[in-house]
Structure formats: C-alpha cells, structure tokens
C-alpha cells in the first residue's frame, strides 16, 4: 500500500461508509433519547478529554448545532471550581484519574432530565468511565461514542474494570481500529488517525436525526446560526436566554 494523501482518503471514505451502514439504528436510538430530554426541558451534556473534546465541541455550542447543549471538560475544575492551573498537570495522566469525574459532574449545571454524551475512542480511561458511572447512578440517559474494536482490545484503567460501552444506554461505534491510525509505516508503525473524522460524522448524524424528529413533532428546533452571519448573534442570544444558567459557553 502507498502511504500518500490519496490512500488516506480511500481508507477514510471506506470507514465512513461502514459507519453509515452499521450505525443507523444506534443513531436513531441516540436521537430519540435526546429528543425526549429536549422535550422535557433537558440539555445535552457532552464530555470528551484529549482529542475527544473536539467531538464534544461538535455537539455543544457550534453553528448548525443544538442550543440546549453544554460542554464539560477536565479544565472545568479550574474554570468553574477555582482549582489552581497546576491541577491540570499532565493531561494524559489527569484523564486516567477517576477522582476528577465527580468534581466535573458537581460543577456542571445539570438537571435530572439532561442526557449525557461521553466521547472516548479507547473508552477505558478512569475519568470517562467514572463519569459514566456517576451519570447512570444519577439516573441520566447515557450515549457513548467510542471505538468498540479499540476498547475491546484494551484493559480498563478504571478500578471497576468496566469500560465506557459497558455503562451506556446507546453505543455509537466510530469504527476506528485499535491504535486509531490506518496507514502503515515502513518500520511497522501506523499513522493517519481516523476516529475524529468518524466520530464527528456520527455526532452530526445524531443532530440531524434530532432536528428531523423535532420538526415531525411540530417543534422549531433550537439551532445555532453562525455568529459570522448577519443577525446570527441576535438569533443565538434569544435562544440561549431560554436556557439561562443551564448552558455554559466558556473556554
């Protein structure tokens, strides 16, 4: 196999097709949970650490996305909890620490009807597994966006031995291989990560199904407009006012 841009695109296209073909039912189930939450005044709470935070950003607070959405992050303990920046330390180590999960949950503007989307391609780090455990103990619906292949090949870093997909009501499988990358290096390594692309695809597929469902129910979907189009700021502020104190748009 060659290892140029064209080969990467070929691999990504094939994987995207696979995700579309295999995840349709899960996408609809995830959308149904979100619609039920939004119908009852809930908010979509999204969390991802490391590169998975990019997918939380796809779900919460972006143009073309749902206004009643909130992004949780490891740094919330600094931004909203007043902890010193030094707490963040080595991000890779922090995302493996289960004790930070309760702090993140406690600092979030969560209400009982909120639904959670937790994103982790490996699905084994302590923070995300512990947060998933807390979410379920509190009675929230939980959607996991993960790589089933990668997670299955890993040993959990959580004391319980559980993984993210063990706790979820709905599992969205991004199809990424173990190790994430798809192109071979001459020395036997691999490069060309794919999980961000397929996870973003799944996130937007779910949003599309939510919008379709709300329209079919006769509701006007609360969707962000770009802040860089005329009238975008005014439109967005009007919708955000409905969820005052419920959604954060910090760093």
What is the tens place of the pLDDT at every residue in 143-183?
A: 999 999 999 999 999 999 999 999 999 999 999 999 999 99
* pLDDT mean over 109-116: 97
For residue 1, pLDDT beyond 60: no
CB 174 within 8 A of CB 202: yes
Q: Helix (H, G, I), strand (E, B), or coil: what is residue 121?
A: coil
What is the tens place of the pLDDT at every residue in 28-50?
A: 999 999 999 999 999 999 999 98
Task: Output the pLDDT for position 251.
Answer: 63
Task: Output the pLDDT for position 250.
Answer: 67
Please, what is the average pLDDT of the chain?
A: 95
Outline where DSSP puts E strands in 61-158: 69-72, 115-119, 142-146
């Amino acid at each position: 196999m060659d290892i140029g841009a064209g080969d990467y695109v070929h691999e990504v296209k094939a994987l995207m097709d696979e995700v579309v073909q295999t995840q349709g039912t899960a996408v609809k189930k995830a959308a149904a949970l979100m619609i039920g939450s939004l119908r009852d005044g809930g908010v979509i709470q999204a969390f991802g650490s490391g590169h998975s935070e990019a997918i939380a950003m796809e779900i919460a607070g972006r143009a073309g996305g749902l206004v009643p959405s909130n992004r949780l992050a490891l740094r919330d303990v600094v931004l909203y909890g007043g902890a010193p920046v030094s707490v963040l330390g080595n991000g890779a180590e922090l995302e493996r620490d289960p004790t930070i999960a309760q702090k993140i949950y406690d600092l979030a503007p969560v209400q009982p009807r909120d639904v959670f989307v937790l994103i982790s391609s490996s699905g084994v780090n302590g923070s995300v597994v512990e947060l998933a455990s807390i979410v379920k103990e509190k009675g929230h619906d939980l959607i996991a966006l993960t790589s089933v292949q990668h997670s299955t090949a890993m040993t959990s870093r959580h004391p319980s031995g559980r993984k993210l997909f063990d706790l979820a009501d709905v599992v969205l499988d991004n199809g990424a291989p173990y190790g994430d990358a798809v192109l071979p290096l001459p020395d036997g390594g691999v490069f060309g990560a794919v999980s961000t692309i397929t996870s973003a695809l799944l996130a937007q597929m779910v949003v599309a199904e939510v919008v379709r469902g709300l329209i079919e129910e006769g509701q006007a979907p609360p969707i962000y407009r770009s802040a860089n189009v005329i009238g975008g700021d005014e439109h967005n502020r009007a919708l955000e006012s409905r969820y005052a104190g419920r959604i954060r748009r910090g760093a």
